Every structure is written in structure tokens, then in C-alpha cells.
């Protein structure tokens, strides 16, 4: 029904909406209609709250991915970094807690700091490779993602790290403050910080400018290399934060966390109107984009679509979103 | 010219939705003549030749070839009838050899396999027939721009040549390469080939042209014999106004020296020394490849400096990065606004905001960007460069070349520069906008800024500059001021060979 209304409305305003915000509103409406028809449980308050809670992790990673995409690159290593953070911080916590059984919170902090330290290194390596050595972002982050996955498996021998401090999972995985789950609060804070960063700070303006036309940015007194470096470091730190939250949720350090999240986060961004050419994208839309991806997954689960078929659909959705992105860019440039 | 007409068009018109690109043009090319097409960008030159080349079909009007009405289905069809075109954009594949490029699309075969031996030997024959000294086995990427041009010309020859169309062939050639090309054109001419030659370089016309046809806004202004006209007359025909209406008078109040360059050496720059004063306009002329743009890109830190000293306001800036040089107060406007000047997918507001945010006035001391202040700055700048309201909210890609250039000019206001280097400030800009841009330059100079204008458009430099330097082969071949700034003087300096390595 809703799709009908859209196609009946004047095509001009549809085009304008499409050029302005991208394909997301159309995808979102289509998904809502299809899944509501397929499952009566889909469009219930409880289910939507579930979706919102589950989408926290993807929202976070997509924030980081968005920065890198706007700077004109992309980061395929976010999934690996989640796994690596999980393993490294879990090992750190277990080791520290074993040495000082009474200082549990110090152990948690210690583990988290090691995780962020690793993320900082990965972000610097990605950023330096792309900015200073002109390696294409695709190869750089693909290579780093193999290196990271290898380390994560090497450190654990493929066995999950268990016996994490109880307080860690209890607080950051399942805890609530004023009835709101802690991961949700973390996500809200990150969204707010990212919104300010991208729209109100010089660095944000520089990232948009570098992604839009790096040579023009260079001739406008922007340190393009440092800007790119920052983009990759911020992305890595956010991915690492997500890794910690997921570790708290599963209560083990696992080398196979975040397996599909690189693809999912790129899909979330592109569907939300972040251009793969760089320079274009908005924080608030990316939040919705990530929400949309989780919504589709939830809908497919309710409709009992097998997880293998879900992979097929996710990939197809990404390609479709990129095709629409190209179309949108052409319309934007020609003004038709 | 008593020769018979080879190609003629009558009332040739090309209508695009909303635009009449060519409006009832009568054009005539005789066998054995060089006929120059002259006009501003967008005047219809390219549209006219694209129809003669078979790349485009006319909306109305007809083309007559050798006395018979002709129509061309495609470029290959036009070539089959003896008309060859060398477009401005080369159609060579850099990773293939010369021979492979020449035979691209019609490779000789040996059964199902390519016959590389025949390809090479026939390429060699074709090249030597044209008098080009190029090895057919070389990769195109390794050739100089001039040699690539020769390969492009060779590629066009697949049979009997009646007419050759050259679109801006000298745009990137050195003067020696230009000489070579002109010799070749003269040889073709003596063999009775008709040549249509498109160029902006008015100083070349006297050397090769028999007749000149001037186009403006898609219509023909007139055809004149080269011997009956001169450069000023041609410019007036092209622009539709006298020269002194286009170029404003700029008051000359030289103050303290801002920039001093001493024996600067870089890639393509072989030891240049000059200075620029506040309140004056320094013109920089030279042929393409003379290093006139390179010199200032090296000053800006965009090309590596090997030796020499650059001082700005008494401060040594030889080893600073481009960013630090801009922050010191020099702004450089790129000649290529699409590739390195503007972010095309953004509005003029977003483009200008970048410079305001990076500039001294708006963001200094504040942690967060004050968008209200930025927006006020943006609208002040947009008013200054006379950017019409309706264009301010559109992506820059949708604006005309002239309006894009206005936005690019606006960027130098955002960054508080005291020395502004305009590199080819009016490339692809119509005459109306040009005089607006020249007025901006005047206002900046009279407000006490130091201005550098690098331009291949000689009248532009001659009419705006108070003083000028001429480059040839990467060194400064002369400095002129006052009454010495004449076209003759400059042309002599253009071909100064003292910097040539032997």
C-alpha cells in the first residue's frame, strides 16, 4: 500500500527526496511493508525495541565506517579489529585479574586500554598506509584485516578466552542505567560526539573536503594526510569500543566476532546516502541505515529465512544500494 | 584561394534541448588551404567539427563534399570519405605499443591470430611516409606529448586523405614540436589536402593560416583572409567588443616587496629569480611547457624544490609545506578547477566554507565551527564575486564554467591572502564573466594585494599586468615593463633558446 502511494506522488518530489537523502526512505518503507505482511510479530513495539537494542553494535561500527567513507576510502578491517580487541582485552583482563584478584575494576580498565591500544596501532597503520604510502584503501585494510585475524587466532589458538570478570559482562553487556541498557547509552554518546565532530568541528569539515576533492583540499591549506590518518584512527577506535561491548555481551574473548560487520557497515552507510566517492554523508542518516540493516535481518529471522539466504540478500542489497548511489550522483551532478 | 571547394556547409545547425549549439553556419574549406576556426569556448567550433568528423549529425543544413551532398554515419564513415580528425582528447592506449595503437580495431591477422610482424612493418612505413621519427615498437606511455600527437595523426591515416581536422593540436607542444607540426601541415597543404585548424593561439595564425572563420555564440561572425586582418581585429570579432572594454585599467601603486624568489631550481624550473610587490600585477607568460606554471607551483611547494630561496615578507618559506605557505598568506588558484580547484558535488557555499573554516578569521580560537559566521562570510564573498543567488544552492557541477570560476575566485577571499597567484584565471570562461573576473583582479590589486597572473592568453597578460616575466625552457628569458610589454618582444622571449640543454 505504502509503495503505491510513493509511486503515485509527483515524481519530481520523489526525485528530490532521492537526490537529497538517497535510497534509504524507499528501502525502509519497502522493508516495513514486506515484513509486516510476512509476519504479524514484526510490527510490534516489543520487536522494534529489540531491533533497536540489537542494532547498537552495527550503529557504532557504521559511525566509524562513515568517517572513512566520507574521507574517500573504506575500512574492511573493522570486523577483524573487533575480534582482535575482544581477544586481546579478554586476555589482558584474565591475566590481570589472576595477578590481582581484588582489583577487578582495574583489571577491566587494563583490558580495555590494551584493546584501545591495539586499535590505535591498527588505525595508525591503516591511515599511514593510505595517506603517506598511497596504498589503496581496499588493499591496505584487506591486508591489515588478514594480519589482525591471524594475530587473534594465534593468540588464542582458536579457543575462546573464558573466565572474564563477572562484573565486565554484567555491566557492559547486560547492565542498565535508569532502565536503559548500557550499550545503548554508549551508542547514544558516540552518536552525539560524532554528530558534533562532523558538523561542528574543523576536523569534520576537513574530512568532508578531503573526500570531496583531495587536491582542492590540499590547495585550501588542509593537511590532507593528517586528516586521512585521523579518519582511520577514529574508525578503529570506535570498532574497538564495539569489540569491547560485544565481548561483554558474549562474556568470552572470541576471534570470530564481527565476521560480517565490515560488509554490513558499508551497506548501512551506502544505503544511508554516504557516497562511495567520498565527501557526502550524514551521521543521523547512517544511524537509520544501520537500524535498517538490523531491521531486515530481524524481519528475515521472523519470516524464517535461513541464515545462508540472509547472506545472499545482504550482498545483493549492498550492490543495489551502490547502483542507486551511482544514479544519485549522476542526478546530483547534472541537476536533472 | 583559387582552389576548388573541398568541403562546404550551408546553414548547418545543431539544436540540443534548450541550446542551439550551432546556428546556420556557412563554412567553406578549399583544397590546399589551412582554414583556422577561431572563437571562445562554447562558440560552436567543436560542434562544427564534430559534424564534419562524423561524430555528430546536424539538426538541419547540409554538408557538401567535392560537390556532392554528404552525410556521415560515424567517424569511420567520414574517414572512409577522406576526412580525418585529430581530436583534442587523444584516443591512444598508453600501455600498448605505437604499432598496436595505430592498428587498434583493424589489426592485420594471420588466420585467427594477430600478425604482429605486418603490423610493425606497416606502421614503420606509415610513420616514415609522414616523416615522423618514432619507433613503432615503443610503448605510447614513453612518448612525449608531441610524439603522441604524431601517432594520433598517423592513426588517422587509413587511406586517401582529403581533409584533416586538427583540434587544438599545439595546446601542449613545445615550440620546436610546433615547428615540426607546422612543417608537416605545409607539406600536406602542398599535396592539396585541406586543413581545418582550431586554436586559441592567435599568434600562430600568421604562420600557417590562409583564412580564418570566427564563430561566436554558435553563429558565424565572418571569414577573413589572414593577410587582410590582424590579431586585434580577430579578437574583436571573437568577443564582439573592443579590447579596452574587456580589460579594466588597474592603478599601479607598488609598495613593499612581498615575495622574493632567488635562483629557484625545481623539476622543470632551472634557476629563476624575480620579486613581486604589493599593489602590482605581475604577468607571467610563456608557451605551454615553458615552466611558467611549474615555477609558481614550485614556489607553493606543490613541486619539489631542489635549491634556491623563496622569501615572503622577509620570512624564508623555501622549505615550508603548501599548507604552511597558504597560511603565511599566499593563495594559489589552480588552472584546473575541476581536478584540483572545486568539490563539484557540493554547493558553492560548501566549497567556500572550507576556506573560511581553514582561514584565520572565522575559526581561530574557537573549538567549534561557528556556521552562522561562516555563512555570513560565504554570502559576503558570493556578493563580491557577483555569483547570482540562484546558483548559490546548486552543486558546482551544474554551474557554467564562468560561474565555477567565480566560486574558485571566491576561495582566495576566504583565506586572507596578501599575494594571490592566478594560474590561467579565465580558462573556459565566456567574455562577459571574464570582464567581471578582471574587475575583481583590479579591485584586489588596488586594495594593495600583490597579484600574479599566469596565462597562455597573451592579450590577458599584456592588458592587465604592470610588469611581466616571460619564461622559456624553465628559466626566465626576460622581464618587461611599461612600453616594452609588446607582443613582438614577448614572442622573441618565448623562443629564447638560451636555456636549452645541448
pLDDT of amino acid A336: 61
Please list, residue by residue across A8-21, b when 16 or more beta carbons sit within 10 angstroms of its beta carbon and e when fewer do. eeeeeeeeeebbeb
The residue among B177 and B352 whose pLDDT is bigger is B352
Q: How far apart are CA B419 and CA B449, in angstroms?
A: 6
Q: Out of B326, B339, B411, whose CB is closest to A215?
A: B339
pTM of the shown model: 0.80
B87: which 3 cell numbers?
A: 581530436
Q: How far apart are CA B206 and CA B213, in angstroms?
A: 14
The SS3 of residue B367 is coil
B450: which 3 cell numbers?
A: 600583490
Q: What is the H or E stretch that residue B327 is in? A: helix B322-328
Instruction: Label residue B244 exposed, middle or buried (CB < 10 Å: 0-12, 13-18, 19+).
Output: exposed
> Which of chain B's residues have a Cβ under 8 Å away from the Cβ of A332?
345, 395, 397
CB A63 within 8 A of CB A231: no
In chain A, at which residue ranges do the beta strands (DSSP E only) sit?
176-177, 180-181
Q: Which CATH architecture has domain B244-329+419-502?
A: 3-Layer(aba) Sandwich (3.40)
> Which of chain B's residues have a Cβ under 8 Å away from the Cβ of A212?
343, 345-346, 350
Q: What DSSP string describes B287-324?
A: -TTSSHHHHHHHHTTSS-EEEEEEEETTEE-TT--HHH
pLDDT of amino acid B113: 82
A289: which 3 cell numbers?
A: 541505515
Does A332 contact B415 at a Cβ distance shorter than 8 Å?
no
Query: Is pLDDT at B499 greater than 60 in this prediction?
Result: no
Name which of A172-176, B76-80, B237-241, B258-262 the model is least confident about: B237-241
Chain A, nearest residue to B362 by Cα: A202
Chain A, nearest residue to B396 by Cα: A333
pLDDT tens by residue, A197-230: 998 888 999 999 999 999 999 998 899 999 999 9
End-to-end Cα distance, chain B: 42
List residues of A whose CB lies inside 8 A of any B CB.
196, 200-202, 204-206, 208-209, 212-213, 215-223, 275, 277, 279-280, 329, 332-335
Q: pLDDT band at residue A6, thresholds of 50, 70 and 90?
A: very low
pLDDT tens by residue, A105-139: 999 999 999 999 999 999 999 999 999 999 999 99
CB B90 within 8 A of CB B45: no
3-state SS, A99-133, equals HCCCCHHHHHHHHHHHHHHHHHHHHHHHHHHHHCC
Q: What is the DSSP letter of A317?
A: H
**Positions of CATH 3.40.50.300 in chain B:** 5-243, 244-329+419-502
Instruction: Label residue A4 exposed, middle or buried (CB < 10 Å: 0-12, 13-18, 19+).
Output: exposed
Does B340 contact A280 at a Cβ distance shorter than 8 Å?
no
Q: Which of B356, B357, B360, B395 is the best substitution to test chain A (most A C-beta atoms within 10 A)?
A: B357
- Give me the helix-helix angle, A182-200 and A45-54, nearest 10°: 70
The residue among A308 and B2 whose pLDDT is bigger is A308
Q: How far apart are CA B98 and CA B93, in angstroms?
A: 9
Question: Mean pLDDT score of chain B, rounded to an integer?
Answer: 85
Query: Is pLDDT at B167 greater than 80 in this prediction?
Result: yes
| Overall size of chain A counted in residues | 336
Which CATH number describes the domain made up of B5-243? 3.40.50.300
Q: How far apart are CA B87 and CA B40, in angstroms?
A: 17
A323: which 3 cell numbers?
A: 547502483
Q: Which of B303, B323, B414 is the best substitution to test chain A (most A C-beta atoms within 10 A)?
A: B323
Name which of A6-10, B106-110, B424-428 the model is least confident about: A6-10
Q: How far apart are CA B237 and CA B246, in angstroms?
A: 13
Kindly state the average pLDDT of the residues B251-270.
90
Q: How far apart are CA A328 and CA A14, in angstroms?
A: 12
Chain A, nearest residue to B356 by Cα: A220
Please list, residue by residue across B44-53, b when 16 or more beta carbons sit within 10 angstroms of its beta carbon and e when fewer do. bbbbbbbbbb
User: Which among B92, B290, B283 is positioned nearest to B173, based on CA atoms?
Assistant: B290
A178: which 3 cell numbers?
A: 535508569
pLDDT of amino acid A312: 92
pLDDT tens by residue, B437-484: 999 999 999 999 999 999 988 888 988 999 999 998 888 988 998 888
Q: pLDDT band at residue B171, thresholds of 50, 70 and 90?
A: low
Q: How far apart are CA A76 and CA A72, in angstroms?
A: 14
Amino acid at each position: 500500500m505504502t509503495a503505491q502511494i510513493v509511486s503515485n506522488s509527483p515524481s519530481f518530489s520523489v526525485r528530490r527526496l532521492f537526490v537529497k537523502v538517497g535510497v534509504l526512505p524507499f528501502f525502509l518503507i519497502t522493508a516495513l511493508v514486506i515484513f509486516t505482511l510476512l509476519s504479524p510479530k514484526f510490527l510490534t513495539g516489543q520487536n522494534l525495541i529489540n531491533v533497536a537494542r540489537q542494532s547498537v553494535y552495527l550503529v557504532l561500527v557504521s559511525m566509524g565506517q562513515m568517517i572513512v567513507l566520507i574521507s574517500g576510502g573504506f575500512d574492511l578491517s573493522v570486523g577483524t579489529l573487533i575480534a582482535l580487541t575482544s581477544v586481546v582485552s579478554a586476555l589482558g583482563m584474565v591475566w590481570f585479574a589472576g595477578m590481582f584478584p581484588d582489583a577487578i575494576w582495574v583489571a577491566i580498565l587494563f583490558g580495555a586500554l590494551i584493546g584501545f591500544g591495539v586499535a590505535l596501532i591498527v588505525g595508525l597503520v591503516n591511515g599511514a598506509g593510505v595517506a603517506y604510502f598511497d596504498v589503496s584503501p581496499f588493499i591496505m585494510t584487506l591486508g591489515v584485516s588478514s594480519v589482525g585475524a591471524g594475530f587473534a587466532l594465534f593468540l588464542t589458538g582458536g579457543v575462546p578466552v573464558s573466565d572474564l570478570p563477572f562484573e565486565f559482562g554484567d555491566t557492559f553487556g547486560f547492565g542498565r542505567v535508569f532502565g536503559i541498557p548500557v550499550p545503548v547509552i554508549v551508542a547514544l554518546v558516540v552518536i552525539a560526539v560524532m554528530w558534533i565532530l562532523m558538523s561542528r568541528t574543523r576536523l569534520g569539515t576537513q574530512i568532508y573536503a578531503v573526500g570531496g576533492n583531495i587536491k582542492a583540499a590540499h590547495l585550501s591549506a588542509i593537511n590532507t594526510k593528517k586528516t586521512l590518518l585521523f579518519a582511520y584512527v577514529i574508525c578503529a577506535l570506535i570498532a574497538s569500543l564495539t569489540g569491547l561491548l560485544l565481548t561483554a555481551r558474549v562474556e568470552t574473548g572470541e576471534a570470530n566476532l564481527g565476521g560480517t560487520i565490515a560488509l554490513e557497515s558499508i551497506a548501512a552507510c551506502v544505503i544511508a546516502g554516504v557516497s562511495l566517492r567520498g565527501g557526502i554523508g550524514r551521521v543521523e542518516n547512517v544511524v537509520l541505515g544501520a537500524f535498517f540493516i538490523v531491521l531486515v535481518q530481524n524481519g528475515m529471522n521472523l519470516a524464517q529465512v535461513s541464515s545462508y539466504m540472509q547472506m545472499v540478500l545482504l550482498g545483493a542489497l549492498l550492490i543495489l544500494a551502490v547502483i542507486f548511489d551511482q544514479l544519485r550522483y549522476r542526478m546530483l551532478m547534472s541537476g536533472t | 584561394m583559387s582552389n576548388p571547394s573541398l568541403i562546404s556547409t550551408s546553414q548547418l545547425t545543431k539544436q540540443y534541448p534548450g541550446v542551439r549549439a550551432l546556428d546556420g553556419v556557412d563554412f567553406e574549406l578549399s583544397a590546399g588551404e589551412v582554414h583556422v576556426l577561431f572563437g571562445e569556448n562554447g562558440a560552436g567550433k567543436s560542434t562544427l567539427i564534430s559534424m564534419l568528423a562524423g561524430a555528430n549529425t546536424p539538426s538541419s543544413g547540409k554538408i557538401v563534399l567535392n560537390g556532392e551532398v554528404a552525410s556521415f554515419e560515424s567517424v569511420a564513415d567520414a574517414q572512409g570519405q577522406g576526412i580525418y580528425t585529430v581530436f583534442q582528447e587523444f584516443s591512444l592506449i598508453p600501455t600498448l605499443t605505437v604499432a598496436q595503437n595505430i592498428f587498434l580495431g583493424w589489426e592485420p591477422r594471420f588466420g585467427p591470430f594477430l600478425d604482429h610482424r605486418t603490423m610493425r612493418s606497416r606502421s614503420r612505413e606509415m610513420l616514415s611516409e609522414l616523416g615522423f621519427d618514432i619507433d613503432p615498437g615503443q610503448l605510447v606511455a614513453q612518448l612525449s606529448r608531441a610524439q603522441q600527437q604524431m601517432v594520433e595523426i598517423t592513426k588517422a591515416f587509413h587511406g586517401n586523405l582529403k581533409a584533416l581536422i586538427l583540434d587544438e593540436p599545439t595546446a601542449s607542444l613545445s615550440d620546436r614540436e610546433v615547428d615540426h607540426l607546422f612543417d608537416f601541415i605545409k607539406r600536406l597543404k602542398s599535396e592539396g589536402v585541406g586543413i581545418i585548424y582550431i586554436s586559441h593561439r592567435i599568434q600562430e595564425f600568421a604562420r600557417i593560416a590562409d583564412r580564418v572563420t570566427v564563430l561566436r555564440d554558435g553563429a558565424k561572425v565572418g571569414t577573413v583572409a589572414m593577410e587582410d586582418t590582424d590579431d586585434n581585429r580577430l579578437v574583436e570579432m571573437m568577443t564582439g567588443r573592443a579590447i579596452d572594454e574587456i580589460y579594466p585599467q588597474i592603478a599601479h601603486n607598488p609598495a613593499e616587496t612581498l615575495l622574493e624568489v632567488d635562483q629557484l631550481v625545481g623539476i622543470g624550473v632551472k634557476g629563476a629569480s624575480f620579486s613581486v610587490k604589493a599593489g602590482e600585477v605581475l604577468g607571467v607568460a610563456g608557451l605551454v611547457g615553458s615552466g611558467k606554471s611549474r615555477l609558481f607551483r614550485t614556489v607553493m611547494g606543490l613541486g619539489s624544490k631542489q635549491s634556491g630561496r623563496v622569501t615572503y615578507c622577509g620570512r624564508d618559506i623555501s622549505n615550508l609545506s603548501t599548507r604552511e605557505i597558504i597560511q603565511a598568506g599566499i593563495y594559489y588558484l589552480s588552472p584546473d578547477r575541476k581536478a584540483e580547484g572545486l568539490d563539484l558535488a557540493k554547493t558553492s557555499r560548501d566549497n567556500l566554507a572550507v576556506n573560511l573554516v581553514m582561514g584565520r578569521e572565522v575559526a581561530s580560537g574557537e573549538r567549534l565551527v561557528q556556521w552562522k559566521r561562516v555563512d555570513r562570510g560565504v554570502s559576503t564573498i558570493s556578493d563580491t564575486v557577483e555569483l547570482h543567488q540562484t546558483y548559490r544552492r546548486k552543486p558546482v557541477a551544474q554551474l557554467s564554467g564562468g560561474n565555477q570560476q567565480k566560486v574558485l575566485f571566491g576561495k582566495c577571499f576566504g583565506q586572507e591572502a596578501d599575494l594571490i597567484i592566478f594560474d590561467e584565471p579565465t580558462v573556459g570562461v565566456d567574455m562577459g564573466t571574464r570582464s567581471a573576473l578582471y574587475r575583481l583582479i583590479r579591485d584586489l590589486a588596488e586594495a594593495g594585494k600583490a597579484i600574479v597572473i599566469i596565462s597562455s592568453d597573451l592579450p590577458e597578460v599584456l592588458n592587465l599586468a604592470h610588469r611581466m616575466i616571460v619564461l622559456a625552457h624553465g628559466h626566465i628569458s626576460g622581464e618587461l615593463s611599461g612600453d616594452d610589454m609588446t607582443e613582438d618582444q614577448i614572442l622573441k622571449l618565448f623562443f629564447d633558446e638560451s636555456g636549452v640543454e645541448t
